Amino acid sequence: MDSGLFLPSASLDQTCELFLSKIKEVNPKVHTELIEKAFRFSWEAHKDQLRKSGEPFLAHPAAVSLILAEQRLDSVTISAGLLHDVLEDTTIKKETLAEEFGDEIALLVDGVTKISTFQLKSRQERQAETYRKMLLSMAKDLRVIIIKFADRLHNLRTLKYLEPDRIRAIATETLDIYAPLAHRLGMAKIKWELEDLAFKHLYPEEYKDIVAKVVANRVERESLIDNFTFPLRRRLEEEGIEATIVGRPKHFYSIYRKMVQRNKPFEEIFDLLALRVITKSIRDCYHVLGIIHSLWTPVQERFKDYISTPKSNGYQSLHTTVYGEQGHIVELQIRTWEMNQVAEDGIAAHWLYKSGSKEMSRDDKALVWLKNLIEWQKDLTDSTEFYEFFKIDLFHAEIFVFTPNGDLISLPKGATVLDFAFSVHTQLGLHCIGAKIDGKIEPINKQLKSGQTVEILHLNSKSPSINWLREVKTPKARSAIRRWLKNTGKQESIDLGKKIVHTSYKKLHSTTSFNDHTPGLLQFLGLINLDRLYELVGNGELPISRVMQYFKVRKVKKSVPSNMVSRLMGTFTGRNQGILVGGNDNLMIRFAKCCNPIPGDPIVGFVTRGRGISVHRDDCANVEFFSADPERKIDVRWDEGEQKKYHVSLEVVGGDRPGLLHEISQVYSEFGANVLEGSIKTISQQARSKFRIEIRNRNQLKQIFRRLQRIKGIENVTRVKDYINYPQDSSQQRE
């Protein structure tokens, strides 16, 4: 926008008339009545403000609205562009804006307004909440982000007037957030200009060097384009195909990125040129591809069919790279006119092709990522965490995998079986135990590759654990796991905490009821209700010793007779105080894999943060480590009345001979142990066998040990500490 229009000597009427003529010049179909009203309102709102360049502030919103007009957007969007800084930089309120221009424009302007409330602790928190607010506003009206891109674009074009630190911050944020976001939303033209302008300000010397070399290379580039377009155009005419051929160099930041990634100078980057062939139909696209491959030799690994398999941002095109004369490498993109429009303008094209649909449709592929992002952010309350995951998710490359029915699923590079399961259906993800990948069974954390067919294996008794958050890459999976842990884990923490608190209180053998002490105890701990107390104890945030300290300080009276009766009852019933392990009242119990305890083993429990009780054998080497924090130690005992199955691994070593494996198997069968898997290896006449078996308790294991040791030639039988997984129902699953 010509800043001369906004000289102090220029009148409002004269300036408004010139501005509207420019709008009509770039977008003849737009209605100017609303735009004129917005221009005059913005003039009055910003009349006493200047930009860092010294020009009137209105020059900026006017330029933003002109960028929107160039994208052929409607008068409401252009008007919102004129008003986009009114709420942020003047005293005008959103209600006033709504009264003057209606709720639609007020929503758009509020959507692009930064959050600056003093309650937020840091600039990064404000920034993260601004992004979150922008995303939620986009869900209501897509034009919010289009206005924001136009705002950022003009700010970058006039960035030189700011302080160096501020220039670097804005340029860095552009490369970190806005350019990747433009790419995610399919807005290639906006993305290219954002990247090149940010590159210019962040790396001025490198920028000048590349621009100079691209300009110096112009004659050679035009000659190379001619060498490709002449024979291609001739063949297209012979085949009766109408097409437009356009040649251009890659944009500057793209070239710089190739140089950095490949660690090569400009002169050794050969794929700097891209030719685009635009046709009338998809059929013509594939016909053109065949012609190109008949004229030049293709680089096999560089062919991509994004027409049959569109990118997640809706981008469609055929990509092929060929060897030309003198070893030149040229990339060709083949697409229809509508595909070209979508590729360059992304959701702005969505706005045009969907007849002004403001909201995201269910089937619009270009907006699937945005819908997922809006969904998963609901479960994040920490602004910093949201900001980091938002940045990470923006940069993910894509892979494409198939369901058994042939449906295509797009996932970020590095996605796992769990990510795939959640992308198909949340319930499938919550109960996932693994997958068949091209027919081969793989675990939940197996990373996927493009082209694989994945069939999810699930079990209704399986449920998520906090460890799953380390195994997923997609926000949808992370959000679903967090939601499940929050909803289910909270109640289980309350139940576990209640059991721990009341068990510990019983040990005091007090003459008074626990409920008699509740008000004073809550006040002592600074809590508002018992459920919160139980939750904090259950998830390990509040040591039980801190709770018991209240009673010790007040010297709660004990009853000797009750103490004696309690001891007698424990003697007769065999049920001493402690948390049951392995029974139906088992809550958030996790068996330590370092020692694999089974019923009958002497055990000890420790309350771990967010993961319930970790149960170890008392001779486990890690017990000493946990014992350093005695406040987390808790009494646990086996539920002898509960007949469950546990997995144990054994190693049997002896002299190799015929029939040995058969005799070992007979022992397992004799004592009712189910063999889950086994292996045998013979070295120098010594047989070393490993078995994973399913048993009920330690006594059964002792019988198996004694019987195995009596087999002829057996030298040693040992219990192996490995990756044992305990099969448990949904209330007990805590791997």
All CATH 1.10.3210.10 domain ranges in the chain, comma separated? 3-201
- In this structure, the chain runs to a length of 735
Is residue 574 scored above 50 in pLDDT? no
Across 76-90, 209-223, 395-409, 509-523, which has the greatest mean pLDDT?
76-90
199 token code pair = 């590159």
From 89, 104, 331, 663, active-site residue: 89
Confidence of residue 729 (pLDDT cuts 50, 70, 90): very low
Question: pLDDT of 38-83, one tens digit each?
Answer: 999 999 888 888 888 778 888 899 999 999 998 888 899 999 999 9
For position 563, what pLDDT does the model report? Answer: 41
All CATH 3.30.70.260 domain ranges in the chain, comma separated? 646-720
Question: pLDDT of 13-33, one tens digit each?
Answer: 888 989 999 999 988 888 889
Can you count the helices (H) and strands (E) in the chain?
A: 30, 21
Question: Which of residues 34 and 71 earns the better pLDDT score?
Answer: 34
Mean pLDDT, residues 431-443:
90
Whether the Cβ atoms of residue 530 and residue 484 lie closer than 8 Å to each other:
no
For position 34, what pLDDT does the model report? Answer: 93
Residue 44's contacts (CB-CB under 8 Å, 6 or more residues apart) are: none
Is residue 171 scored above 80 in pLDDT? yes
Instruction: Please tell me the distance from the alpha carbon of residue 353 to that of residue 371, in angstroms, as a whole number.
Output: 19
For position 355, what pLDDT does the model report? Answer: 45
Is residue 348 scored above 50 in pLDDT? yes
For position 634, what pLDDT does the model report? Answer: 75
From 44, 55, 88, 325, active-site residue: 88
Residue 563's contacts (CB-CB under 8 Å, 6 or more residues apart) are: 509
All CATH 3.10.20.30 domain ranges in the chain, comma separated? 365-475
For position 568, what pLDDT does the model report? Answer: 35
Is the entire prediction scored with pTM above 0.85?
no
Confidence of residue 282 (pLDDT cuts 50, 70, 90): very high
Instruction: Please tell me the distance from the alpha carbon of residue 194 to that of residue 397, in angstroms, as a whole number.
Output: 20
Question: Which of residues 51 and 641 earns the better pLDDT score?
Answer: 51
Is residue 516 scored above 80 in pLDDT? yes
Confidence of residue 551 (pLDDT cuts 50, 70, 90): confident
Confidence of residue 585 (pLDDT cuts 50, 70, 90): very low
Is residue 463 scored above 90 in pLDDT? no
For position 286, what pLDDT does the model report? Answer: 93
Question: pLDDT of 89-123, one tens digit each?
Answer: 888 998 999 999 998 899 889 888 765 544 445 56
Q: Which of 144-158, 255-269, 372-386 has the lowest mean pLDDT?
A: 372-386
Taking all residues of the chain, what is their mean pLDDT, rounded to a whole number? Answer: 78
Q: Which of 457-466, 476-485, 607-616 has the lowest mean pLDDT?
A: 607-616
Is residue 586 scored above 60 in pLDDT? no
Confidence of residue 733 (pLDDT cuts 50, 70, 90): very low
| 3-state class percentages of the chain: helix first, strand second, coil last, to nearest 5 | 50, 15, 30
Is residue 532 scored above 60 in pLDDT? yes
Confidence of residue 420 (pLDDT cuts 50, 70, 90): very high
**What percent of the chain shows pLDDT beyond 70?**
78
The CATH superfamily assigned to 646-720 is ACT domain (3.30.70.260)
> What CATH fold (topology level) applies to the domain 212-353?
Beta Polymerase; domain 2 (3.30.460)
Q: Does CATH number 2.60.40.420 belong to domain 365-475?
A: no
Mean pLDDT, residues 335-363:
65
Say how many Å lie between the first and final Cα of the chain, rounded: 62
User: Angle formed by the axes of helices 103-111 and 123-140, to 10°?
Assistant: 150
Q: Which of 251-255, 662-666, 719-723 has the lowest mean pLDDT?
A: 719-723
For position 730, what pLDDT does the model report? Answer: 32
Q: Which of 350-359, 420-429, 558-567 has the lowest mean pLDDT?
A: 558-567
Across 275-284, 371-380, 574-583, which has the greatest mean pLDDT?
275-284
Q: Does CATH number 2.70.150.10 belong to domain 3-201?
A: no
Is residue 416 scored above 60 in pLDDT? yes
Confidence of residue 194 (pLDDT cuts 50, 70, 90): very high
Could you count the other beta carbons within 10 Å of the beta carbon of residue 234? 11
Confidence of residue 203 (pLDDT cuts 50, 70, 90): very high
- Catalytic residue flag (residue 88): yes
Confidence of residue 544 (pLDDT cuts 50, 70, 90): confident
User: Angle formed by the axes of helices 544-553 and 518-525, to 10°?
Assistant: 120
User: Angle formed by the axes of helices 143-157 and 75-83, to 10°?
Assistant: 50
List Cα–Cα distances, 241 to 36, 510, 611, 665, in angstroms. Answer: 46, 94, 65, 73
Mean pLDDT, residues 694-716:
85
